[in-house]
Structure 1
Amino acid sequence: MVLTDNHSIIFRLKGVLEFSCQLHTSNESLIEDTISKCFRTLHSRVSSEGLVFSICNSAVLLWPNKGLQTTAENLTSTTACRDVLQHLDMEDGGSKKSSKKKDRKNAGPPVVNMKLLTEVTESEDIGALSLCKVTQQLHNVQMPLCVDCVFTVTGQDTLAFVCSGLVAVLCKQLSEMEEVVQKYRKGSSLLVPQPFHFQLPETIALVTVIYPAGVQDSQLLSVREELHRKYGLPSDRPWFRRANVFHFPDEVYKDGYLRNPHTSLTAPNVEDAKLYVVRGMYSYYHYMQDRVDDNGWGCAYRSLQTICSWFQQQGYTERAVPTHREIQQALVDVGDKEPPFVGSRQWIGSIEVQVVLSQLLDVTSKILFVSQGSELASKGRELANHFETVGTPVMIGGGVLAHTILGVAWSESSGEIRFLILDPHYTGGEDLQTITDKGWCGWKGPEFWDQYAYYNLCLPQIPKTI
């Protein structure tokens, strides 16, 4: 990969530091002081000359606190950090030639992963051994601190600048971890602090927030409110829930679903048209996934699942994407369907999608009625406004088919329009190139719709919440 001086690079440093201490079970002041002393010890370790950075997928080691010593002869303190990429074994970083080549088109800045290590040396003078008798009850505490630091730079920044920056970020993260440990401790019981990275709108650099493990997002509202004030963010949508965590381009989604396949597409050639597309992340749900044979009847269920994944990945809900059976049960619970509907292969439409979103996610929706498909070409303004102001995927049902609309390319002057369609009728594997090349996710003209069938569009709205 060739980078210019102005290209961004994310350096990511991960490692585990062992927090270990003995806390008095009844003396609050001593507990607080002991915790602070342990964190000062960790600060000393990461500020010592024995700190080592190992660049993943390479044989390069760096000593950031030793005037930047390295094991690579051509890497010095004044080396441009983009030159580090030449030392990476790209065969292990998702860069193999494969059918997922297009997936890297909008992958974002490259990530240089690094491991945090420390030199292990034996003291020459151990000193005399001593015994002490403890007469007070102590609570032995040991917990791993999984540090995860990011530092975004440009390609021309020096390696010394990167390493000193990472050490500073690491020290800052330890201080923030101490604040969280002290704030949420109950006596001598401590919660493990965990770092999360978030990307704010219109920015490249990431913001790292420390949350206590085991504390739900619903209990961290005041923390998020303070973060929104600190970064000048509006209070109408979440930015700092765990579900909003930044996904690094080199990481694979463990659930196996494709995310945002539309980002690999080329925009349609429509004169004077503007693009209005879905905001944020979603997963592509389609026929035959999750060992469910819904070929021929489950397209609306799959479109609904795609919409639910959007609300989940934007942090509006912590609920898992509902299964077909859970969708059916929700419709029975609200009285829309009779009990035998659960476990059946009956179709659902836009109205049922609206009902389920309300029942399971407490999400309201607008319904747009179109008496025949030929009228959809005239709905550019309504759809453009939806994607510009709301940004959720839209479910459209007509006849016996359902699709997901992810955006429109619309010319206000001529009225010409193209629809960005995610097709739930696909039955193959999660192969991005097949999905985009064969049009399962692609731009379609007005002729895509049955010109004489009626259509209902479900436009989910977003709650005002952080």
Structure 2
Amino acid sequence: MVVTDSLSSDRGTILRVRGPLEFKCHLASTDARLMLKVISRTFETLQSQVKSESCVLTVCDSPVIIWPNKGVFITPEEITPNAPCEDILKWIQSDEQDPAGMRSAKKKSKKSSAPSVINLRLMMEATKTGPLSAPILSRTVQKSLFLSTSFPVDCVVRTTVNETIKDAFERLLKALTHQLCEMEKATLQHMNGTTLLVPEPLHFLLPDPKGLVTVVYPEGVPDSQLEAQRKELHQQFELPDDRPYFRRANTYHFPNEPYKDGYLRNPHLVLTHPTLDNGKVYLVQGTYSYHHYMQDHMNDNGWGCAYRSLQTICSWFQQQGYVERAVPSHKEIQQALVDVGDKKGSFVGSRQWIGSIEVQAVLNQLLGVTSRIMFVSQGSELASKGRELANHFLTEGTPIMIGGGVLAHTILGVAWSETSGQIRYLILDPHYTGAEDLQVVTDKGWCGWKGADFWDQTAYYNLCLPLRPKVF
């Protein structure tokens, strides 16, 4: 563990510094004890570089350069060390630039409550000041092992409101130094002969009030071989052992980084919750991808809604670290149903619908996830299921697939009043055929709160409620 920072508030900013540190050392002996000493000395050299006046932090997409060990010297000169740290945002380049040359802060969605992130690049000055001496060359002939690699530093600090640049960057440098200590521990612990495993800093967002935690894992070592370390972390942060918090799939996704696969994540987060008398809101827990018609170069308009709802559910289990396999395609879903004997071979490649029972079978076959099925003889009865649905989101927190007639939807939460029985459903609609545009998806109701009249009052419905595996 490196550092913790609360993200429970949307005030303040996140300072995130990244950059490779070159790790180079000569091993004159393969004696394990001597090798460890040389590696430790090399880490001491890296720490001294970070603490030296040659250390430079550049603010990405801006002209701002900061020397944190020179009394926090900053260019441009308009920025002073005692200015609020948030002032740096004004200099970060956006699509627009004013005539004076100052960059305006990158625009965020008016609905977004995510903290602003200031990305920094760690660099070292190569040019030395003062008198230069003539170079001296010497040659030594000896056998030695040369280790050379780049360590991917990735350090995060959350600033407080009105915290000065000077104070924030002093904390950042302390966190960075501490991260190097943790990287040294991970390197020495997982050293295998003369093989050096690169230490990899990863950030995890834990339940409030624990906040953001940075953990160093050895790169290339699978999660299955890190169970002992993850168990220690669960004990350290008093977390239950029946949920994964520190698997790589749970790595925190910073709000300013796009997802490489292009899918929208958690579009419901920008919505305003409905207000009910004595009502409470119960929501899906964690991250999922929004899967809908016409994605992945697949024309499933008119028949693939349940497949898409299933894909959304599978993405949830993947992104919570319960499974490592990719979200299944329509063909893989169909093949799974053939493999369990639910369908004949001709079903693969067809355009046949599936329902909640098939979704349950595929989750079990492909992910090893069990589900509970809720049967509702007519849509009007769904209004009486508030307690069961609320309890599901409170205890399991997984998306629910609901199918009725020829339509399937994903339920992401409920707003329910125990006293009045009023209920609203948070629906993610897989029938959407447009682009990955959050504004359109939310403004047009493809992800939105619906009343009891959303359901066909006379049609039957089956709900598939996936259950969390009890693993960590």
Q: TM-score range by the shorter chain?
A: over 0.9
Would you say the 8 A contact 2:23–2:42 is kept in 1?
A: yes
1:9 to 13, 31, 34: 13
Change over 3 Å in CA distance of 1:158–1:287 after alignment to 2: same
1:37 to 38, 41, 46: 41
Match of 2:124 in 1: 118
Counterpart secondary structure, 1:456: strand
Change over 3 Å in CA distance of 1:399–1:6 after alignment to 2: closer
Would you say the 8 A contact 1:217–1:242 is kept in 2?
A: yes
Change over 3 Å in CA distance of 1:283–1:95 after alignment to 2: farther
Q: Structure 1 CA distance, aligned partners of 2:343 and 2:27?
A: 58
Match of 1:23 in 2: 27
1:313 to 308, 319, 341: 319
Q: Is it true that 1:351 corresponds to 2:348 in the alignment? A: no
Match of 1:132 in 2: 140
Would you say the 8 A contact 1:228–1:235 is kept in 2?
A: yes
Q: Structure 1 CA distance, aligned partners of 2:105 and 2:389?
A: 37
Match of 1:80 in 2: 84
Tell me the alpha carbon deviations over residues 372-426 of structure 1, each in whole angstroms, 9 at most, x when there is no partner: 1111111111101111111100000111111000111111111111111101011
Match of 1:162 in 2: 168
Alignment gaps of 5+ in structure 1: none
Q: Structure 1 CA distance, aligned partners of 2:26 and 2:340?
A: 54
Tell me the alpha carbon deviations over residues 81-125 of structure 1, each in whole angstroms, 9 at most, x when there is no partner: 22222222243899767xxx65x5234211111111111125712
1:261 to 267, 289, 294: 267
Tell me the alpha carbon deviations over residues 51-81 of structure 1, each in whole angstroms, 9 at most, x when there is no partner: 1111122211111111111113233332222
Match of 1:189 in 2: 195
Match of 2:466 in 1: 460
The amino acid that maps onto 1:47 is K
Deviation at 1:127, TM superposition (A): 4.6
The amino acid that maps onto 2:195 is S
Q: Structure 1 CA distance, aligned partners of 2:169 and 2:451?
A: 51
Deviation at 1:278, TM superposition (A): 0.7
Change over 3 Å in CA distance of 1:308–1:126 after alignment to 2: farther
Would you say the 8 A contact 2:10–2:115 is kept in 1?
A: no
Counterpart secondary structure, 1:11: strand
TM-score of the two chains, using structure 2 as the length reference: 0.93
Alignment gaps of 5+ in structure 2: 1-8, 97-102
Change over 3 Å in CA distance of 1:372–1:6 after alignment to 2: closer
Would you say the 8 A contact 1:107–1:249 is kept in 2?
A: no
Q: Structure 2 CA distance, aligned partners of 1:24 and 1:409?
A: 67
Deviation at 1:24, TM superposition (A): 4.5
The amino acid that maps onto 2:262 is G
What is the aligned length?
Answer: 456
Match of 2:235 in 1: 229
Match of 1:89 in 2: 93
Greater mean alpha carbon deviation, residues 88-97 or residues 45-54: 88-97
Q: Structure 2 CA distance, aligned partners of 1:27 and 1:66?
A: 40
Match of 1:323 in 2: 329
**Where do 4+ consecutive residues of structure 1 move more than 6 Å?**
92-97
Pairwise CA RMSD: 1.9
Would you say the 8 A contact 1:405–1:421 is kept in 2?
A: yes
Counterpart secondary structure, 2:23: strand
Counterpart secondary structure, 2:402: strand
1:378 to 384, 402, 417: 384
Match of 2:99 in 1: none
Q: Structure 2 CA distance, aligned partners of 1:414 and 1:129?
A: 86
Q: Is it true that 1:413 corresponds to 2:445 in the alignment? A: no
Match of 1:438 in 2: 444
Counterpart secondary structure, 1:178: helix
Match of 1:400 in 2: 406
1:46 to 50, 67, 71: 50
Counterpart secondary structure, 1:243: helix
TM-score of the two chains, using structure 1 as the length reference: 0.94
